[in-house]
Amino acid sequence: MRLKAIRVRTGYWRPGTDYVRDIVNAVKPVLEDGDVVAVSEKAISTAEGLLLDESKFAPGRVSKFLATFWMRFMWGLPLGCLTNLRQKTLERLREYPKLEGAVHKQVALMYAGILQALRHYSEGGIDASNLPYNYVSLPLADPLLRAEMIRRALSETGKEVSVLIVDGDTAYSWRNLHLSPRGVEVPGLVHFGGFLTFVAGRKLGFVSRSTPVALSGEPMNPDWALTLANVAHRVRGHGAGRTVWDMAERLGVGLTEVTWGMLDEVKHYPIVIMRRVSD
């Protein structure tokens, strides 16, 4: 048996988009019994309007310290080297924006806590990529509810499928130990202290894969759920960019100058269908 992955293109899911109807309409022509339909958590959060405008926040002392010292001189030097970050990433971290960065860290402190704010990206699932202006998305408070809602809607196609909601942030595995960067609702994944998950996983050479945050349908062991999440994330691509820096660079604007219209013009694949097929 081998795994076949089909990425499904939709329009950009702006806030207010009926993403459940979009999913049904997009996958209906190709869906088969036993498929696993993986959906980007970030895309769902955006469609549901789980966004914050960081320009409305003011940084505090701790967030200023994180932006001016922790990110630039710790992640940009020893922590970044310890965890084998790419050279380009290290250079960007050493130039981490002081004002916008401090505001972002303030949001991370308020909504995710200090152990997540100490991360160099995706603090507690907070994400600025593929969003305009100063917006960031928050993680889903109840991703399992969304997965079940999508699966019920897909039942109208007459196909029995499973639904997996995926966060591109990385989980780390060693044998039967699976460390998640944040608490998730997939059995077998252990949440382990925010930025410590990343440092330990990278330094110890654990297997890195994208994180399944919710599963509705056929039960599966955590290793297989992680494998499917990783395949879906790789096949899906990164939309306008893997990071906010990549997005701004691709679109030729400043970090906070991306518009909704620019994102509408980018190809987006928030859905990936995966199925086992015979050789």
Give tens-digit pLDDT for 241-262.
999 999 999 999 999 999 999 9
- One-letter amino acid identity for 58? A
pLDDT band at 278, cuts 50/70/90? confident
**What residues does 276 pair with on adjacent strands?**
3
C-alpha to C-alpha distance for 43 and 268, rounded to whole angstroms: 9
Predicted confidence at residue 270, as pLDDT, reads: 98
Q: Specify burial of residue 87 (Cβ count, 10 A radius: 0-12, 13-18, 19+).
A: exposed
What value does the mean pLDDT take over residues 176-197? 91
Q: How far is CA 135 from CA 20, 173, 274, in A?
A: 23, 32, 31
What value does the mean pLDDT take over residues 103-128? 96
Backbone angles phi, psi at 19, to 5 degrees: -70, -30
Phi-psi region of 242 (alpha: psi -120 to 50; beta: other; left: phi over 0): alpha
All CATH 3.30.1330.100 domain ranges in the chain, comma separated: 2-48+141-277
Backbone angles phi, psi at 13, to 5 degrees: -85, 90
User: ∠ CA 131-132-133 to the nearest 5 degrees?
Assistant: 130
pLDDT band at 209, cuts 50/70/90? very high
C-alpha to C-alpha distance for 38 and 224, rounded to whole angstroms: 13
Predicted confidence at residue 238, as pLDDT, reads: 92
Q: Would you say residue 216 has pLDDT above 80?
A: yes
Q: Would you say residue 279 has pLDDT above 80?
A: no
Predicted confidence at residue 114, as pLDDT, reads: 96
Q: Which residue has the higher pLDDT, 104 or 185?
A: 104
Question: In this structure, what token pair is assigned to residue 131?
Answer: 């969003």
C-alpha to C-alpha distance for 71 and 80, rounded to whole angstroms: 9
Residues sharing a CB contact under 8 Å with residue 52, sequence separation 6 or more, in sequence order? 107, 111, 135, 136, 138
Q: Specify burial of residue 168 (Cβ count, 10 A radius: 0-12, 13-18, 19+).
A: buried
Q: Which of 96, 214, 60 is nearest to 147 (CA)?
A: 214
Q: What is the pLDDT of residues 188-204, one digit of tens each?
A: 999 977 899 999 999 99
C-alpha to C-alpha distance for 70 and 141, rounded to whole angstroms: 28
What value does the mean pLDDT take over residues 219-233? 96
pTM of the full structure: 0.95
Q: Would you say residue 13 has pLDDT above 80?
A: yes
Write the class of the CATH domain 2-48+141-277: alpha beta
